[in-house]
Amino acid sequence: MKTKELILPSFLASALVNGDLTGLEDSDLPLLDQILEATKGWNPVDVGEGYFDHIYSPTIGRFVGDVAVYTFISM
């Protein structure tokens, strides 16, 4: 089993971990789709506590706001 950690927006936790899109706006869906494509074959198993930060990721670009460390596993 392999693991990897990614820093991603906190507001996507429920959608990524539980598949629950409740509370997301239509404008959030392209970002979610980008992350799902980039993590294909990986399953989120943990989301750390959120914190405010400025991040840059090749997957999502620049993001300023509440983020969290997501742990993914691949089997």
The dihedral sign for the CA sequence 65, 68, 69, 75: negative
Question: Which residues constitute the domain of residue 41?
Answer: 2-74
β partners of residue 31: none
Is the pLDDT assigned to residue 30 strictly greater than 80?
yes
For 7-17, what is each residue's pLDDT tens digit? 999 999 999 99
Pairing verdict, β 61-74 and 51-57: antiparallel
- Region of 13 (left: φ > 0; alpha: ψ -120 to 50; beta: rest) is alpha
For 34-74, what is each residue's pLDDT tens digit? 999 999 999 999 999 999 999 888 777 888 999 999 999 99
Q: How many domains does the chain have?
A: 1
